[in-house]
Structure 1
């Protein structure tokens, strides 16, 4: 912009300087021509005066004539202050005021003589070698009887005129220099006023180009440049508003992508991976730095996944499939591949959405197993009741001992069916959180003693020793009925799966918090038995509904398969945790940690 301002200033100065120079040249020429014309008129007038006083028909020899005309020329020079020359008609010099006639050659070919002979008066301006300066020559013919008998020439130095013209040029050049300085200042000011707003507008436009949309042009004028600045400001306002909307939409889209549970992968028309959200990184087991910019078939992905992408690219149609992924962990993924088309293009890329449906498929399997287990558990006692009832109706009623035995079996199976249905209803209510817990202080020593008394008969029938270790001053805030249900279920399981002569024990301890906060203190319940134990492969699933480690043994024990599932849910409702340690043939230990105070 400074270069533009300098060029504009130079243009203004050049225009003003050229104008002043042209005017000066014109004035100098007019002045010179005016001097020359005035000099010609004066010289012509003097020549005509001289002609009236000089006789060009002087008689005598050539020497006498030369002496006479030389003397006349010298006298006339004093009065006219100019060089006077007398010439014969053939151009021979008869006398001259400045040089001897004998030294002068014939002037017949001189411009002023030729013109005078032709037009009656002659003018010429040239440099004289004899006197060494520029001279103005004016010649008049002398006529006698209609014939030219000679010429009188008057020549005057142009030094005065040249000095005057030189002075004019000096004044002109001085004035031109002053005009140039003044023109420079004025031109710079004009250029500055013109270029400064443009410079500011250019600066703002550059800032807008660099995405700095807060810059504005300060508009002080209403001319074309002011209108341009106003237009730039309006454009900046519009761009800023649009960019804010774009950035807001981009932020929302980025937030949505980053917080989506489903993985999103985008592949461009060249087959390169151009977008990958956080969930896709977790699902595929690779970071975005490892995958972005690579072709899908070079991204070290599972073969089935790569084949689905290739198939979608070739068919340009939506594809949905389920694939088992084994890296970074075994999961079932639902893969949706959608071709992307934009206006004016048939194909611009591929959008892939990955859903981890492992949990859904596991729940479906659990639901299927649950339905099968419920059906089986309900069918067994119903079949027994129906079978023995049919036997009684067929005539077994007549045998009282047989009838009593069959009725006892029907009663036992009915009880079992009643327990199963009760446990199902209880588990359903617990899972749906329709049972509000009634928290109250519980003195744990008498509470645990009461639980053992309930199970004493069951333990005595198998000669199993029950023992407890509970501090006398330990209390807990919990739902008394639900806590009793937890402990009785665990103790009952221990009795059921412990051989005769074994032992089942319960101990309760206060576990202080690590940082000394009272609300973080916990109470730990530890229920141990010397039973058959649980294989390690079954421990992760023992809290599932109807899951049985030993189905035959469980059937004999009369359990419903829902006890541990109920214990787990009730523990969670108390914001507690339950853990299991077990060894086959040695026994099992269940450890429950609950908050001391809710």
Structure 2
């Protein structure tokens, strides 16, 4: 059995789907724009710090391979600039990190496969956003090459947590969720109003169709304001006029036949398949004196004439 939907349900489904799709598309676009704007702002802020890092590296030119010197520089820069500073040799070896202790540096995995590191080596600048399981937020990494692509010295990488981005994204999602609920509620209200108004006009058409079905042959000429219902009303009006005309023809034919039968000098008695009398003309009424009203009764009940009953039984 195919599912059935009410007019209100179908309208709500249509409007609700439209609201969900539109708000979903707007939400995704808005979140992407917010993310792009905030990442871009944070990236520009980090890029402004690289000249200082580059200058301090130049001061320690002879100590670039020293964990002690580079880690101390990374620690000082990280504390002063309030960012994470990582100094990486061209082969991917980490020689300084503001959030890693000096004795733990040898155990850090090689960074040669990091996307921002590879981009910095090939183009001079690299950037990436990765989720940190430790902090529970995304981290923005911006890397820049010290030296030249032909003679790279070191890759300087700065990182900041995108806490503000996560907060703004959460707030934006809540706003979109509220807008979605409001849109669905408005869709439900609109569906209720449209269904009630349409149901009222359809009920008026149904009453007029019922009048035609009962043989009252009256079409009120209702003109609904809804275009689609108005077309249905015109079609039903045409059907009602046709049915009324056909019924009128049948009634005229019935009246002519009744007059003809009543005018016959011979007695006419018409029964159904069960022998119950359907019609008796005036001549038959004069010839046979009925004991009771004959219509709807058998000949034996109405006339108590055995011969008449036997003749009728032979005919049937």
- Shorter-chain TM-score category? 0.7 to 0.9
**Secondary structure, counterpart of 2:225 in structure 1:** coil
How do 1:124-203 residues align onto structure 2 when only pairs under 5 Å count? 124-129=128-133, 131-143=135-147, 146-203=150-207
Aligned residue for 1:71? Answer: 72
Distance change (3 Å), C-alpha of 1:54 and 1:5: same
Aligned residue for 2:37? Answer: 34
How far off its partner does 1:251 sit? Answer: 4.8
TM-score, normalised to structure 2, is 0.73
Aligned residue for 2:208? Answer: 204
Aligned length: 293
**Secondary structure, counterpart of 1:124 in structure 2:** strand
How far off its partner does 1:113 sit? Answer: 0.9
**Secondary structure, counterpart of 1:55 in structure 2:** helix
Aligned residue for 1:102? Answer: 106
Deviations 1:321-380 (A, max 9, x none): xxxxx9349xxxxxxxxxxxxxxxxxxxxxx9xxxxxxxxxxxxxxxxxxxxxxxxxxxx
Following the alignment from structure 2 to structure 1, what is the Cα–Cα distance between the partners of residues 187 and 207? 28
How do 1:203-352 residues align onto structure 2 when only pairs under 5 Å count? 203-209=207-213, 211-214=215-218, 216=220, 218-219=222-223, 221=225, 223=227, 225-226=229-230, 228-230=232-234, 232-233=236-237, 235-237=239-241, 239-240=243-244, 242-244=246-248, 246-247=250-251, 249-251=253-255, 253-254=257-258, 257=261, 260-264=264-268, 277-278=279-280, 327-328=307-308
Aligned residue for 2:87? Answer: 86
How far off its partner does 1:153 sit? Answer: 0.6
Greater share of residues in helix: 2
Kept in 2, the 8 Å contact 1:143–1:150? The answer is yes
Deviations 1:246-266 (A, max 9, x none): 335435534653674424478
How far off its partner does 1:117 sit? Answer: 1.2
Deviations 1:381-440 (A, max 9, x none): xxxxxxxxxxxxxxxxxxxxxxxxxxxxxxxxxxxxxxxxxxxxxxxxxxxxxxxxxxxx
How far off its partner does 1:11 sit? Answer: 0.9
Q: Please report the RMSD computed on the Cα atoms of aligned residues, expressed in angstroms.
A: 4.1
**Secondary structure, counterpart of 1:149 in structure 2:** strand
Aligned residue for 1:336? Answer: none
Kept in 1, the 8 Å contact 2:198–2:226? The answer is no
1:50 and 2:30 equivalent? no
Kept in 1, the 8 Å contact 2:212–2:244? The answer is no
Deviations 1:281-305 (A, max 9, x none): 88899998669xxxxxxxxxxxxxx
Q: Larger Cα Rg: Structure 1 or Structure 2?
A: 1
**Secondary structure, counterpart of 1:59 in structure 2:** helix
Aligned equivalent of 2:24, options 9, 21, 28: 21
Q: Which runs of 5+ in 1 are unaligned?
A: 292-325, 330-351, 353-598
Kept in 2, the 8 Å contact 1:201–1:217? The answer is no
Following the alignment from structure 1 to structure 2, what is the Cα–Cα distance between the partners of residues 122 and 7? 52
How far off its partner does 1:173 sit? Answer: 1.2
Following the alignment from structure 2 to structure 1, what is the Cα–Cα distance between the partners of residues 218 and 295? 37
**Secondary structure, counterpart of 2:91 in structure 1:** coil
How far off its partner does 1:143 sit? Answer: 1.0
How far off its partner does 1:92 sit? Answer: 1.2
How far off its partner does 1:138 sit? Answer: 1.2
Aligned equivalent of 1:122, options 114, 118, 126: 126
Deviations 1:215-247 (A, max 9, x none): 636435384533543553454355446535533
How far off its partner does 1:142 sit? Answer: 1.2
How far off its partner does 1:102 sit? Answer: 3.5
Aligned residue for 1:386? Answer: none
Distance change (3 Å), C-alpha of 1:223 and 1:131: closer
How do 1:388-407 residues align onto structure 2 when only pairs under 5 Å count? none
Following the alignment from structure 1 to structure 2, what is the Cα–Cα distance between the partners of residues 160 and 152? 24
Kept in 1, the 8 Å contact 2:277–2:297? The answer is no
Kept in 1, the 8 Å contact 2:276–2:298? The answer is no
Following the alignment from structure 1 to structure 2, what is the Cα–Cα distance between the partners of residues 52 and 201? 87
**Secondary structure, counterpart of 1:262 in structure 2:** coil
TM-score, normalised to structure 1, is 0.42
Kept in 2, the 8 Å contact 1:126–1:135? The answer is yes
How far off its partner does 1:148 sit? Answer: 0.8
Distance change (3 Å), C-alpha of 1:206 and 1:135: farther
Deviates more, 1:92-101 or 1:182-191: 182-191
How far off its partner does 1:29 sit? Answer: 1.5
Q: Which runs of 5+ in 2 are unaligned?
A: 300-305, 310-314
Aligned residue for 2:12? Answer: 9
How far off its partner does 1:157 sit? Answer: 1.0
Distance change (3 Å), C-alpha of 1:73 and 1:160: same
Following the alignment from structure 1 to structure 2, what is the Cα–Cα distance between the partners of residues 251 and 116? 104
**Secondary structure, counterpart of 1:139 in structure 2:** strand
